[in-house]
Structure 1
Amino acid sequence: MLPGMIVFALGLVTLVSPLTAAVLAAAPVRHAGVASGVNNAVARASSLLAVAALPAVVGLSGDDYLHPSTMTVGYHAALLWCAGLLAAGGLISWVGLG
């Protein structure tokens, strides 16, 4: 569990901090509150979308949630998707915000 959490934390550090800094730096000072609110709203919406979409992406539906072996396969696939998306987001931030 710990290695996965460390990789997840590193992915968040490489993505969230630079993105937040770029969003707030791009907005005029008088709109800093609005920029922060929009940034937080988009982050929350994307989290909800990930929770709603990942099961469908990895093929979980209906009675699949009742079978531990199917859930394990789906969970592993979802983690790989998350790792890939975090890595892609980190690279995009590094290149796009540099």
Structure 2
Amino acid sequence: MKKSIAFFGAVAGALALTGGAFADGGFQEHMSQCVDKFASASDTASVTLECTAGGGKLSDCKVVDNSAPNKGFDKAALCVAAFLPIGDKSGLIRVPLKFEGA
């Protein structure tokens, strides 16, 4: 679990420094769109995905942990994964996502 949290933090930090999707609010916008489409923005959830990383993108993602089953956050997390740039990482990785309720 430490590896996946460190990975997510490293991606966020690198993108903020380089002016990527996190820094310009683009990622947050995509995350909000995914939540609006699949879940309730007033609920809170944590979802962990297991994905194959390669070519700067994630593919073949599946949900391995979901703190709020049957509330749509699994689908929202899969939607978010499509917009998450991962740099030069490759192989099987875990991606933790936290959805904060409004």
> What TM-score, normalized to structure 2?
0.36
> What TM-score, normalized to structure 1?
0.37
Higher strand share: 2
Higher helix share: 1
Higher-Rg member (1/2) = 1
Higher relative contact order (CA 8 A, sep 6+): 1
